[in-house]
């Protein structure tokens, strides 16, 4: 572990983590924007194998406004170009990050939930601390708190892979290659509904994530994800 470059600062994020974080952030932003543009082409969600205008939709989505979509005015062809290019960026970025996280022990060291962290009393204490804007453990400032670990793990091992898998299940070409994926989600229109719900989960995470970054100290947190170095809050150094 590199030594702190000055008192009160700790090296928190390795290069692999930082690179992936920003590549993934851009990919998610483009994918959400272009995905909403694609949704505008047929803003109805169904369960099951099929679903079109004459079938019952479980959710009639709103038309997403131009300022939210990529491109900034309705164009299904270009929305798909953005979406399908950045789907590769997100998918292979995630794959590389998974390999790197296993090899450099990032997951084992930083995301592994330790004994006692899931105890109700411990979780209640963390929620209480969050409520009072205390986000780190003063005794172990480098560590993620349990709520962080759980939400990062849910995104990394849950929502992002689910977004990729449900997306692949929408491809008629890949349905021929991997028909089991379609069966797993209960049909193409179910996969499409799950793809949308997964996106909503990712957006919800991003909103909470950004709010907490701002509350925890926007510049300190952003710098740590740019340079790796994070100043321990409450420390006199700076």
Interaction site with other proteins (CB under 8 A) = 29-30, 33, 38-39, 41-42, 44, 49-55, 67-72, 75-78, 80-82, 84-85, 88, 170-179, 182, 188-189, 192, 210, 214, 218
How far apart, in whole angstroms, are the C-alpha atoms of residue 56 and residue 45?
A: 9
Q: Closer CB to other proteins, residue 14 or residue 81? A: 81
List the beta bridge partners of residue 60. 44
Report in angstroms how near the CB of residue 147 gets to other proteins at its nearest.
21
Q: Closer CB to other proteins, residue 32 or residue 232? A: 32
Report in angstroms how near the CB of residue 128 gets to other proteins at its nearest.
22
How far apart, in whole angstroms, are the C-alpha atoms of residue 96 and residue 17?
A: 11
> Which residues fall within 8 angstroms of residue 112, CB to CB, at 6 or more apart?
149
Tokens of 143: 């560590």
Q: Closer CB to other proteins, residue 37 or residue 101? A: 37
Q: Closer CB to other proteins, residue 121 or residue 177? A: 177
The backbone torsions φ and ψ at residue 236, rounded to the nearest 5 degrees and listed phi first, read -75, -20
Report in angstroms how near the CB of residue 2 gets to other proteins at its nearest.
29
Q: Closer CB to other proteins, residue 81 or residue 134? A: 81
Q: Closer CB to other proteins, residue 25 or residue 154? A: 25
Q: Closer CB to other proteins, residue 124 or residue 218? A: 218
List the beta bridge partners of residue 45. 59
Report in angstroms how near the CB of residue 1 gets to other proteins at its nearest.
30
Q: Which helix (H) or strand (E) holds 13?
A: none
How far apart, in whole angstroms, are the C-alpha atoms of residue 97 and residue 195?
A: 21
Report in angstroms how near the CB of residue 221 gets to other proteins at its nearest.
11
Instruction: Determine the 3-state secondary structure of 236 from DSSP.
Output: coil
Report in angstroms how near the CB of residue 230 gets to other proteins at its nearest.
17
C-beta atoms surrounding 135 within 10 Å: 19
How far apart, in whole angstroms, are the C-alpha atoms of residue 1 and residue 18?
A: 16
Report in angstroms how near the CB of residue 124 gets to other proteins at its nearest.
27
Q: Which of 111, 208, 107, 94 is nearest to 159 (CA)?
A: 94
Are 46 and 192 within 8 A, CB to CB?
A: yes
């Amino acid at each position: 572990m590199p030594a702190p470059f000055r008192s009160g600062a700790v090296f928190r994020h390795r290069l692999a983590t930082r690179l992936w974080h920003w590549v993934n952030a851009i990919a998610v932003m483009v994918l959400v924007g272009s995905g909403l543009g694609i949704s505008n082409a047929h803003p109805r969600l169904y369960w099951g194998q099929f679903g079109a205008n004459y079938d019952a939709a479980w959710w009639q989505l709103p038309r997403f406004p131009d300022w939210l979509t990529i491109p900034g005015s309705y164009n299904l062809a270009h929305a798909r170009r953005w979406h399908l290019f950045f789907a590769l960026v997100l998918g292979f970025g995630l794959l590389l990050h998974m390999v790197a996280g296993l090899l450099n022990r990032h997951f084992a060291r930083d995301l592994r939930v330790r004994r006692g962290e899931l105890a109700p009393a411990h979780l209640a204490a963390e929620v209480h601390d969050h409520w009072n804007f205390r986000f780190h453990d003063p005794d172990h400032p480098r560590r993620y708190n349990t709520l962080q670990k759980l939400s990062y793990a849910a995104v990394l091992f849950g929502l992002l892979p689910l977004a990729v898998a449900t997306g692949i299940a929408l491809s008629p070409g890949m349905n021929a290659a991997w028909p089991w994926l379609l069966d797993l989600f209960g049909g193409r229109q179910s996969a499409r509904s799950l793809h949308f719900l997964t996106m909503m989960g990712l957006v919800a995470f991003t909103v909470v994530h950004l709010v907490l970054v701002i509350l925890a100290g926007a510049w300190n947190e952003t710098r740590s994800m740019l340079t790796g170095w994070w100043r321990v809050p409450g420390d006199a150094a700076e």
